Amino acid sequence: MDTRELTCINCPMGCRITVVMEGAEILSVTGNNCKRGEIYAKTEVTAPVRTVTTTIKVNGGTHDRVSCKTKEPIPKDKIFEVMDVINRSVCEAPVRTGDILIPDCAGTGIPIVATKGVDNI
C-alpha cells in the first residue's frame, strides 16, 4: 500500500489530502473539505496536469511580448516541451485577448491563447 500526502491547490483553503493506493488503484481519499479536492487528488496521483502561463514574443506591437496560457491544463510531463515551443514562437500584432497563438502546442492538442491584447505600433 502506498500513501501520498498532497496539498490541494483548487482554492485558498489548501486542504491536506491523503490518498491511499494499491498499485494504480485509489483506495481512499481523505482530508478534503469539498468534492473539488477529491477530484484534484485523484487526478494528481494518476495523471497530473497543469495550466501553463507565460508570454510570447510579438513583432510590430506596442509591447514586445504578450501574456498567454494553455487553454486547458496539459499533462505535467509536457510542460518543458510546451515551453520550448512557446519560447521559439513569435506572433504578429495586433493580438486580441482570446486569440489562438499556437493551435496545437507540442502535440498536446491544446492551444495557446492570448490573455491580453497588444496593438500595432
- pLDDT tens figures, 19-65: 999 999 999 999 999 999 999 999 999 999 999 999 999 999 999 99
Examine the domain organization and report whether 33 and 58 are in the same domain.
no
Cβ atoms 10, 40 nearer than 8 A? yes
pTM (two decimals): 0.84
- Omega into 48 within 30° of 0, i.e. cis? no
- Dist. CA 4–CA 20, nearest whole Å: 6
- Number of structural domains in the chain: 2
- Dist. CA 84–CA 89, nearest whole Å: 9
Encode pLDDT of 88-100 as tens digits. Answer: 999 999 999 999 9
Task: Give a yes or no: residue 120 inside a domain.
Answer: no
Task: Give a yes or no: residue 119 inside a domain.
Answer: no
Q: Quick one: 95 exposed, middle or buried, by C-beta within 10 A (0-12, 13-18, 19+)?
A: buried
Task: Give a yes or no: residue 42 inside a domain.
Answer: yes
- Dist. CA 44–CA 21, nearest whole Å: 12
pLDDT given for residue 29 in this prediction: 97
Examine the domain organization and report whether 63 and 36 are in the same domain.
no
Examine the domain organization and report whether 84 and 62 are in the same domain.
yes
Task: Give a yes or no: residue 15 inside a domain.
Answer: yes
Domain that holds residue 103: 53-114
Examine the domain organization and report whether 39 and 60 are in the same domain.
no
**DSSP per position, 35-91:** HHHHHHHHHHHHS-EE--EEEEEEESBSSSEEEEEESS-EEGGGHHHHHHHHHT-EE
- Dist. CA 14–CA 10, nearest whole Å: 8
Examine the domain organization and report whether 42 and 17 are in the same domain.
yes
Examine the domain organization and report whether 106 and 62 are in the same domain.
yes
CATH number of the domain residue 70 falls in: 3.10.530.10
